[in-house]
Every structure is written in C-alpha cells, then in structure tokens.
Structure 1
Amino acid sequence: MDRKYRLKIREATMEDCYDMWIWRNRPAVRKWCFDAKKISYKSHKEWFGKAHNDKYVRIYIVENVKKEKIGTVRFKIKINRQNCAYLSVYLNSLFLGKGFGHRIVKKATDFFLKEKEGVTHIIAEVFEDNIASQRVFEKASYVLVKRMTKQNKKIKVFMYERGYGFGY
C-alpha cells in the first residue's frame, strides 16, 4: 500500500476540538450536513464535551504517517437498540478528493467494532446527491438498504453488518 494511505486511528481529545470545528464549518462539509449553518466555537465545544463523555458515543481522529489529521469519524450507539450505531464522518478539507474517504471509514469501522463487540450493525445516512460519499461507503463494504426523506432531504441509508466485509 502507498505510504500516504497508512492511517492511524485514535480517540479524539479536547485538543482536537478546534480542528474539528474548523473542518465542520467549511462550506464543502456543511453542504452535506442536515444542519448546514455555521456553528460557533462555543457551541461546538459544549457539544464536543458532552459527546466525548457520553458512553454511547465514540469520536475518533484519523491521522497519516506524518501525524497530519485527515478527518474525524463519530459513532453513536442507539440507546434503544444497542447493537446498532450511526456513523458520521468528515475530512479535513486539505484531504478531500484524495482517496482517503473509504480507507477512513474502513479503518474506523474496524476499530469501533473491535472496541464494541455488542454492535452488529452500523448505519450511515448520505444525501442522495452526494455521489462521492455514496461511493466511499460502497467501497468500505457498506450496503445500500433504504432510500427515504429525512428533514426534507432525500437520503440513502447504507449499512455495514458485522460478519460482512471485514471478516467479523
């Protein structure tokens, strides 16, 4: 594998909060969020603190061999159905369109499933017109399971099932 694609995953810390806020507020990322408005650093920091301490949430940072932060992946376990988690991912805009997307999703999915053995399904919701993200999830062994409307947006729902794709 090309050296530039060797990735390391780690749990996000408060030191990552500012970078994540910058990435989240970039227009290239916001346009694919259900809430596409810019958010203040204060509200992001409050959200991050709560999410970081929530036992049902895991936030990871993915870095390359140069320790450059490529992006972040968040998993939120459904409280009423703890074998299922929702995934959201966004990249540092410096690394958009460079082939990291599916590698990050694969790496984070693998890492999360090793950590949370009770989770059997991971779900990702992708806007219908976000073709690049759809390809990312397909290449990461996620399967399109549903098309629906959520918050007045047409989305495609992709699912990864333990035992399918990564050898679990």
Structure 2
Amino acid sequence: MSNRVTVRPATLQDCRTVWEWRNEQATREASFNTRYIPYEEHKGWFARRLTDPHSRIFMVANAQGRDAGYVRFDLVNQEATISVSIDSNERGKGYGTAAIKSASDLLLGTEPVHRVIAHIRRDNPASVAAFERAGFVLQGYTQFEGVDACEMVYGGKASAGARTNGAQEPG
C-alpha cells in the first residue's frame, strides 16, 4: 500500500466533494460541529473560505490521483488551526497522516506561520494517532467548542520538545 499524496489548492469545483465528505456520518461524529450542513449553506461558506485571506483549503489526492480528502487551515497571527477530512473509502490507508503532514509542511513553507494547532475530540483516538504519526505533539487537554479535546501542535518549539511536553491526563 502506498500512502503518498499530492496536495493542491481547492477550487470552487471541489465544493460538492468537500460537502459530501463533511456530511458523512463518521465525519460528523468526529467533528466538533456534528450537525448536517445543507448544500446551499455549504456553497456560501466554501466560496467565502476560498477568498478569505486567513483561510487555506487543500485537496489531497491519493497515489492514483483520485481525491482522497481535504485539509483546511484557519490562519491567525503566526499560527494556523488545522481541520482534516478523509473520504470514508480511503480511511485506514495512511492518507490521513500523509495529508496532515504534507499540507502542514506546505503551509509552514509558504505562509508566515510558525506552528499548526490541532484540536481533536478526546473520543477520536484514530485521529489523535494520525496526528502523532504526522509529527504533532500533544500539548494538553482542553474544552473546545464545549467538547473534551486534545490540543496538538506541529512546528515551532512545541514539536522540538518531548512527545507529550508535560501533558497529563486530567484527574
């Protein structure tokens, strides 16, 4: 199995594909916002994100050149928050880890960003493991949008530290 991926900027033509992935049941369950998103609402959001100077959306293709997922970054100051979704037919093949690492490295190499932050639901160990394999370091545990979450960081001083950087399970 090859988990090589290519990353390209998303375009308006990717809108429906991203919407379909976003509304997959497993994706919604792993998201902080679990509600179904109507297509008309998504179209407006997607178009705004593509032109927002503080947002980057990348499509990720598998080794055969088929779209396998997307990675979105929200840029604030010199940090970016990452959001990822992989097509349900492509999960478990290493594309998530490859997408996270490839897109994060691309962003850090092309934008004035020094680190990438991931907030991951605590009840999503597969995603936590994918981010760890991509080189993200656990910083601690927090509430994010009212949900228990892990905070992980890639790049900057955080990634150079210990694997857990002192983070402990809450008592």
Q: Decide which of 64, 67, 73 is 2:65's aligned counterpart.
A: 67
TM-score (norm 2): 0.88
Q: How does 1:112-151 map onto structure 2 within 5 Å?
A: 112-116=107-111, 118-151=112-145
Once the two structures are superposed, what CA deviation does each residue of 1:72-123 show, in whole Å capped at 9, x if it has no partner? 0001111xxx11110000011111122211111111111111110x211110
Structure 2 spans left out of the alignment, 5+ residues:
161-171
Structure 1 spans left out of the alignment, 5+ residues:
none
Q: Decide which of 35, 38, 42 is 1:37's aligned counterpart.
A: 35
Q: Decide which of 150, 155, 158 is 1:161's aligned counterpart.
A: 155
TM-score (norm 1): 0.90
**Structure 1 position 162, deviation (Å):** 3.5
How far apart, CA to CA, are the structure 1 residues paired with 2:57 and 2:27? Answer: 17
Once the two structures are superposed, what CA deviation does each residue of 1:7-40 show, in whole Å capped at 9, x if it has no partner? 1110000111100000000001000111111111
How far apart, CA to CA, are the structure 2 residues paired with 1:29 and 1:71? Answer: 11
Moved more, 43-52 or 59-68: 59-68
Q: Report the AA paired with residue 127 of structure 1.
A: R
How far apart, CA to CA, are the structure 2 residues paired with 1:131 and 1:5? Answer: 20
Tell me what 2:146 maps to.
Answer: 152
Q: Give structure 1 regions of 4+ aligned residues with deviation exceeding 6 angstroms.
A: none
RMSD of equivalent CA atoms = 1.3
1:97 aligned onto 2:92 = yes
| Aligned pairs, number | 159
Q: Report the AA paired with residue 149 of structure 1.
A: Q
